[in-house]
Amino acid sequence: MKLAIHFGAGNIGRGFIAPVLQDNNYEVIFVDVNKQLIEQINLLKEYKVSSISLNLSTDLLVENISGLLLEDKDPLCEKIAQADLITTSVGPKFVKDIFDLVSNIKTEKTQSFIAFENMYRASTSNSSEKSLSKLVLIDAVVDKIVPPQNTTSLDVTVEEYGSIVLDDNKDIKPLNESKIVSYRNYEHEFYKKLWLLNGLHLKLAYFGLSREIKYIHEILNNHEGLEFAEKSIDSLSEAYRLFSDSTEDLDDFKQTILNRFSLPEIQDEVIRIARNPEIKFSKDERFERPLRLLISANEQVETFKEVLDIVFNNNFEEVDGFTEFKKSQLSNDKSYFYNEFWKVDNYSDKYIQALGN
């Protein structure tokens, strides 16, 4: 059996990545900084993953697992040297430290490194100039929604849908293609998810805030909210088509996203999704870049305008980061916002015409 070292024994690591690794015939060793969590893993050596969808719920028992503390350097380095695959789900800001640790360990094995993080090219962006002939870095787009959990148990509840897209620009394929795993054009897949999933998520969050709706699924349970969601994802899909020059049929992908967001069990709070607006509305992010493509092509941006009006006309003090965003970027008119925050002088007239000033 092959060996996989997975950094991050949290909900995504236990509820999504580990089952996929085991399906690919890897022994899984978790690494984490949480001593209590690692002790629980080594004591129980198993946990249950419950997958929920609109129609059913299924359970999977994940067995024969073990864990190591990040601070236990000697046994950890020994296991890393033996590993065939090293993976992470620790959060983007911690990946570089893990990469530095792994890349400095001497081994004769050819190893793969995959950072399963919500970040652009999380695997390769942390590499340095040193020789990595034995360590193959593979970028991944990972997609799984995990609802709030019972923190005292190893058991995890996740949505049934899950997707791992690995960069097809590599000769080594550490995971077999399946219903979950595929190898495709990374650039296309990253922006397809960022815009159609994360971009729609953001737009729905502010739509919901403006109507005092608490959860995402409640937005999709009424006619007005569903109509807004469908128009939003259609325009985001058009932006993706302009970006990728693709003839891919996105109808099933779009419907799957709407179905996922409709799950009441996810308990997806709009206040959580709306947080950190200065980042999420910034240039080249999930809102601005597809909007830029649509405006430059004279396409429909009605739902973008609605969200921008909501952002400018409200004070969502309960949203983490909104007050600061309001003060630093929204205190002047929209023209200032386009030119100073988004740096789109060449499009200023089109923006004013499409979105107002």
What is the rounded end-to-end Cα distance, in angstroms, of the chain? 62
Spell out the per-residue pLDDT of the chain, length 357, in tens.
999 999 999 999 999 999 999 999 999 999 999 999 999 999 999 999 999 988 888 999 999 999 999 999 999 999 999 999 999 999 999 999 999 999 999 999 999 999 999 999 999 997 764 546 689 999 999 999 998 887 789 999 999 999 999 999 998 999 999 999 999 999 999 999 999 999 999 999 999 999 999 999 999 999 999 999 999 999 999 999 999 998 999 999 999 999 999 999 999 999 999 999 999 999 999 999 999 999 999 999 999 999 999 999 999 999 999 999 999 999 999 999 999 999 987 767 899 999 998
Indicate the burial class of 196 (C-beta count within 10 angstroms; 0-12, 13-18, 19 or more): buried
pLDDT value of position 133? 61
- The full DSSP string for 280-326 is HTSTTSTTHHHHHHHHHTT---HHHHHHHHHHHH---TTSTTHHHHH
| CA–CA distance, 172 with 73 (Å, rounded to integer) | 28
Over residues 138-175, the pLDDT tens digits come to 999 999 999 888 778 999 999 999 999 999 999 899 99
| CA–CA distance, 214 with 204 (Å, rounded to integer) | 11
**What is the Rg, in whole angstroms, of the alpha carbon atoms belonging to the chain?**
22
Q: Report in angstroms the alpha-carbon separations of 24 from 1, 96, 113, 141, 294.
A: 10, 26, 15, 18, 41
pLDDT value of position 151? 74
| CA–CA distance, 84 with 87 (Å, rounded to integer) | 10
Tell which residue, 110, 112, 180, 99, has the closest CA to residue 141: 180
Q: What is the side-by-side strand order in the sheet with 163-167?
A: 140-143, 163-167, 181-184
| CA–CA distance, 17 with 23 (Å, rounded to integer) | 10
Q: What is the side-by-side strand order in the sheet with 111-115?
A: 66-69, 26-32, 2-7, 85-88, 111-115, 135-137
pLDDT value of position 268? 94
pLDDT value of position 132? 60
pLDDT value of position 54? 83
CATH 3.40.50.720 residue ranges in the chain?
2-184
| DSSP H or E segment with residue 215 | none
**CATH topology assigned to domain 187-355:** N-(1-d-carboxylethyl)-l-norvaline Dehydrogenase; domain 2 (1.10.1040)
CATH 1.10.1040.10 residue ranges in the chain?
187-355
> In terms of CATH architecture, what is 2-184?
3-Layer(aba) Sandwich (3.40)
Q: For residues 21 and 85, is the Cβ–Cβ distance under 8 A?
A: yes
| CA–CA distance, 31 with 341 (Å, rounded to integer) | 40
Over residues 239-293, the pLDDT tens digits come to 999 999 989 999 999 999 999 999 999 999 999 999 999 999 999 999 999 999 9
| CA–CA distance, 35 with 52 (Å, rounded to integer) | 29
| CA–CA distance, 347 with 290 (Å, rounded to integer) | 14
Angle among Cα 90, 92, 95 to the nearest 5 degrees reads: 70
- Amino acid symbol at 139: D
pLDDT value of position 349? 87
